[in-house]
Structure 1
Amino acid sequence: MNKSKNFSGHPIIKQVLNFILPKDVPRTAKKHNSDRYTKKFITYEHLATMVFTVISGCSSLREVSSIMLACEGKINHLGLTDFPKRM
């Protein structure tokens, strides 16, 4: 079997994030100093969370945090180390 470059079998969010080069996000974050005061939730994790929010159709922060915490095992492929927590 040949390995095709089509996105068959990949989740939609991973397909969208594959269009963004992995080195571009940290480089841009460093250029604009966006990770200056962060402790856990870095720019790439924020980007992945916002893409997830748009694709899943969430309308509130509470909805985003509850869905991401519920799907924690199902979205390991995104490389997120910290999830938005509900306060």
Structure 2
Amino acid sequence: MNKFNSIFGQILQIFSRSEFYKAVMETGAEKGAKGFTCWEQFVAMLFCQLAKAYSLREICGGLASCLGKVKHLGIKGAPKHSTLSYANEHRPW
């Protein structure tokens, strides 16, 4: 089995997941969330910034084009645009 880590995955390693989840718990950002974690939202938004995406469909399409290769990023799969939209609207920044 080949083990790899994309450049995007290496950028994500800069951010400590334990400190990230500590901040999430302090702010209560995941309260009532079902299935779409704050980490997945963070990965999508970071991808948006780095890819200079202008719409939610571009973000979701870009992540979906890496199908099968996003597990190393800590996400289950590419989010749907409606899920990402709802999370961006209802979670504290």
Per the normalisation by structure 2, the TM-score is 0.73
Tell me what 2:71 maps to.
Answer: 76
Aligned residues: 79
Structure 2 CA distance for aligned equivalents of residues 49 and 86 of structure 1: 11
Question: By percentage of residues, which structure has more helix?
Answer: 2
Alpha-carbon deviations, 1:42-77, whole Å to 9, x = none?
111111111111112211001111222222223221
Structure 2 CA distance for aligned equivalents of residues 73 and 83 of structure 1: 10
Q: Which amino acid aligns with 1:15?
A: Q
Alpha-carbon deviations, 1:11-53, whole Å to 9, x = none?
2222221111120111110000000021011111111111111
Is 1:43–2:38 an aligned residue pair?
Answer: yes
Contact 2:70–2:76 (CA<8 Å) still a contact in 1?
no
Q: Which runs of 4+ in 1 moved over 3 A?
A: none
CA RMSD of aligned residues (A): 1.8
Q: 1:86 to 1:46 in 2, by over 3 A?
A: closer
Per the normalisation by structure 1, the TM-score is 0.77
Unaligned runs of 5+ in 1: 1-8
Who wins on radius of gyration, i.e. which is larger? 1
Percentage of pairs with the same residue: 25
Tell me what 1:6 maps to.
Answer: none
Unaligned runs of 5+ in 2: 83-93
